[in-house]
Structure formats: structure tokens, C-alpha cells
Amino acid sequence: MTSKTKPEAQTETRTAAESAAPAAPTADSAGQVGGEQAGADQTAANDEAFEVLAKLQAENAELKDRLLRTLAEVENVRRRGERELNDARQYAIAKFAGDMLGVADNMERALASVPAEARETDEAVKGLIQGVELTEKEMLRSLEKHGVKKLDPKGERFDPNFHQAMFEVPDPSVPNGTVAQVVQVGYSIGSRVLRPAMVGVARGGPKPAVVEAEKQA
């Protein structure tokens, strides 16, 4: 076997050592790894930012919904308060007005009880009647200032909200359901009935719908 010289042996030993040692990272590979890591960190930061933004948007929508509901409730309370205040003002005298209806009825009965002959021939009776009529008119005018109105529905269509049917009157000359006779006048206050008018209702005539159609034809 041929013996190797000392320089040749040293060269082979150095070559074997370089082959066994791991390769040192190059500058390009290190930059690539650093870029991938930075990209991953940026993606994670973006995801976290989107999550925070979505959470804030949801909270903002919830707060806006609560605000709108609160404003709507405040508006409803305000309107209800105004309505109750208006009702209190309008119907505050309902009890007093109801008590005054008896006085109005007595005046009307007093006027109706005077014979027609006495009205024309007796000056004293005539003056008394005029005084009672003026008093009745003034009382009704005062009640009307506070929303109380007299209901005398003769010739009108029967309304169960303001009229009380006492009997039926056979009368084919007027539409069915027409108030043919008023037994006692009624009174209303605002949109409410204070006392319904007691009436007699006509029966036997044409139906109101037929009469309306004939009028429009």
C-alpha cells in the first residue's frame, strides 16, 4: 500500500470534517424565514383587530337599539301624559254637568206644561216663559263652553253610542232605523255620552244602504 504524504493526509482530514459538519445558513434563507414569521405575526394582528372591530360594532348596534327603544318609550309616556291631561281638563266637569241635566230637564218640562192659549193671551205667563227660555239657553250655552252638547236626534240615524231605543215606530216613509221620536234629549261631553237620548226608532221603511244608493244615483 502506498503511504500518503503528510500534506495529502491533512487535506483529506479537512475535507471529511467539512462534509460531516452541518451547512451554515445562508443570508437568503435567513431572510426568507424572517419574512414568513413577520407575515404570520401581521395576519394574527389583523385577525385580532377585526375581532375587536366586530365586537365594537355589535356593542354599538346594541346601544343604538337601546337608545331608540328608550326614546320611543319616553315619547309614548309624553303622549299618554298629554292625553290624560286633556281628558282631565275636558271631563273634569262631567259630574257637575250631569247634576245640571236635571235642572235643564225641569226647565224644559216647565215650558212644555204651559198651554199654548196661555202663552198667547196672558202677558204675565208670556213674560215668565220668555225668562225661563232665556235662562235655559244661557245654561246650555255655558255647558257648551265646557264641551257639553245637547242631543236632539229626531230625523237622524239611530246611533247606539248616543241613543237609547225605547220603542219602535212603524213608519215606511223614512229609512229603517231613523229616530222618529225623542222622548228625552241626551247630552254628550267631548266624544263621550253624558246621557243617551231616549228615542223611538222607525221601522218598516227602506234600508239606509238602499236610500244612500238612490241618493248617489
Higher pLDDT, 46 or 197: 197
Radius of gyration of the CA atoms of the chain, in A: 51
Residue 19 has pLDDT above 70, yes or no: no
Is residue 106 over pLDDT 60?
Answer: yes
User: Quick one: what percent of the chain has pLDDT higher than 70?
Assistant: 77
How far is it, in rounded angstroms, from Cα 156 to Cα 169?
A: 14
Q: Average pLDDT for residues 110-128, to the nearest whole number?
A: 84
pTM above 0.75, yes or no: no
pLDDT level of residue 206 (50, 70, 90 thresholds): confident
- For the cut 90, the answer to whether the pLDDT of residue 198 exceeds it is yes
The pLDDT tens digits for 43-100 are: 877 878 888 888 899 889 999 999 999 999 999 999 988 888 877 777 778 888 888 8
Given a cut of 80, whether residue 27 has pLDDT beyond it is no
pLDDT at 26 over 60: no
Among candidate residues 186, 193, 195, 189, the one with its CA nearest the CA of residue 89: 189
Helix and strand counts by DSSP (H, E) for the chain: 6, 6
What pLDDT was estimated at residue 32?
59
Between residues 23 and 161, the one the model is more confident about: 161
Query: pLDDT higher for 27 or 181?
Result: 181
Of 5-9, 33-37, 92-96, 126-130, the range with the highest mean pLDDT is 126-130
User: Does the pLDDT of residue 158 top 90, yes or no?
Assistant: yes
- Please tell me the CATH superfamily of domain 148-217, with its number: Head domain of nucleotide exchange factor GrpE (2.30.22.10)
* Higher pLDDT, residue 53 or 199: 199
- Nearest-CA neighbor of 186 among 149, 139, 135? 149
Identify which has the larger pLDDT, 202 or 49: 202
The answer, yes or no, to whether residue 17 has pLDDT greater than 60, is no
Is pLDDT above 80 for 9? no
With vertex at residue 206, the alpha carbon angle to CA 204 and CA 207, rounded to the nearest 5 degrees, is: 105
Residue 217 has pLDDT above 70, yes or no: no
The three-point CA angle 138-143-145 to 5° equals 95
Task: Say yes or no to pLDDT of 1 above 50.
Answer: no
